[in-house]
Amino acid sequence: MKVLHLFSNAKWTGPAEPALNLCVALRALGVEADFACTPETAGGPHKIVMTARDRGIEPVLAFSLPKHRNPVMNWIDARRVRAFVQQRGYDLVHCHLDNDHRIAAGALRGLDVPLVRSNYAGEGLSPKMRPLIERTALLLEPSELARSADLRAFALPEAKTGVVPGAVDVERFDPARIVPDERAWLQIPRDAFVVGIVARMQTHRRYEDFFDAVKQLAEKHGNVHAVVVGRGTKQEQVAFKPVTERGLEQVVHFPGYVDGEDYVGMLKAFDTLVYLVPGSDGTCRTVREAMAMGKPVVAAKRGMLPEIVEDGGTGCVVDNTAHGLFQALDRLAVNRKLARRLGAAARETAQQRFALEVQAGRVRSLYESLLSGRRA
């Protein structure tokens, strides 16, 4: 089976790593999966290209694949993709973003090559996508919530959709691995209870609830620290000023944007991860990464979060208030044994449900069903 994946973005953000990881995992299962992305910039190879090569994939750089719709460039790309698909004999074309979906739909018009689309919006795609969805043979959904929303919005037959939970590299995110000691770097005591949050500092991410809960927790327990991983154009308004106003300067740490092994080490430094609002990646990949690291997750009842985190099983699902968040964190801070038990269950769930090979196996099975159905 030969599959061409298209990714129309030059930034290492949101779905970039999941899309690339899926290709790597599919290749390990015997699928000839090629990955086409936006070419190198004038300054040299960008991170997607370099990471693909690091992971054993030479990316296809024959198309422009702009992030946003460009009538001229899209028309040229559609012609090039069509010729490339016919020349290489691909069985499927798999898209990941809106503009590569547009390009592929134009390229495959009249060809007997089905189009597959991965949805990374945890609550369903925009209704504006209807014309493209109608020309799509299979829509891969990250959650039952998204699937139900899209079935209603686009009046799709159930056979045209499949739920494929987001994946995580459970070998990279393994609590047994030796990674940088971020507690030592941040000068956090070994016996402290560390609450972490990983999200862009944006006004809708409910940071005020997080800081209010941390303040209550620190006042009750004393030896509590919070780590805010991320940055944003609103960080002064959203994070720095609220921390000062609450007198949390000695409690809250701002390491900024962290990646690579430092990011894995940062997750390992947490006792629990808080996740309140899905961001640009509606599939909430950070939650699965923390679970793979053996960390219980305290998540709000928003988006697909309740489908990822089992309340009382792998973490806590709380109402959308600062008090509800405080109660959950207080429970874990008081009962460290419970926190470790939930963390161990989170790790096991990540291995069983979210491992890359599990996701790739599910996608390959859906590919095979699609192709066999068309042949029949």
Question: Is it the case that residue 41 has pLDDT exceeding 70?
Answer: no
Question: Is it the case that residue 28 has pLDDT exceeding 70?
Answer: yes
Q: What is the mean pLDDT of residues 53-72?
A: 95
| Buried/exposed 181-200: b ≥16 CB within 10 Å, e otherwise | ebbeebebeeebbbbbbbbb
pLDDT band at 13 (very low <50, low <70, confident <90, very high): confident
pLDDT in tens, 111-158: 999 999 999 988 889 999 999 999 999 999 999 999 999 999 999 999
pTM: predicted TM-score of the whole model, two decimal places: 0.91
Mean pLDDT comparison of 10-24, 270-284, 359-373, highest-scoring range: 359-373
Give 131-134 contacts, CB < 8 A, sequence gap 24+: 132/98, 132/101, 132/102, 132/105
pLDDT of residue 46: 84
Contact 37, 62 (CB under 8 A): no
pLDDT of residue 376: 63
| Buried/exposed 205-226: b ≥16 CB within 10 Å, e otherwise | bbbebbbbbbbbbbeeeeebbb
pLDDT in tens, 67-119: 999 999 999 999 999 999 999 999 999 999 999 999 999 999 999 999 999 99
pLDDT in tens, 215-243: 999 999 989 999 999 998 889 999 999 99
Three-class DSSP category at 125: coil
Query: To the nearest 5 percent, what fractions of the chain are helix, strand and coil?
Result: 45, 15, 35
Which residue do the tokens 């390009």 mark?
A: 103
Contact 293, 263 (CB under 8 A): no
pLDDT of residue 290: 98
Q: How far is CA 84 from the centre of its chain?
A: 29
Q: What is the mean pLDDT of residues 296-302?
A: 96
The pair of structure tokens assigned to 216 is 């209550």
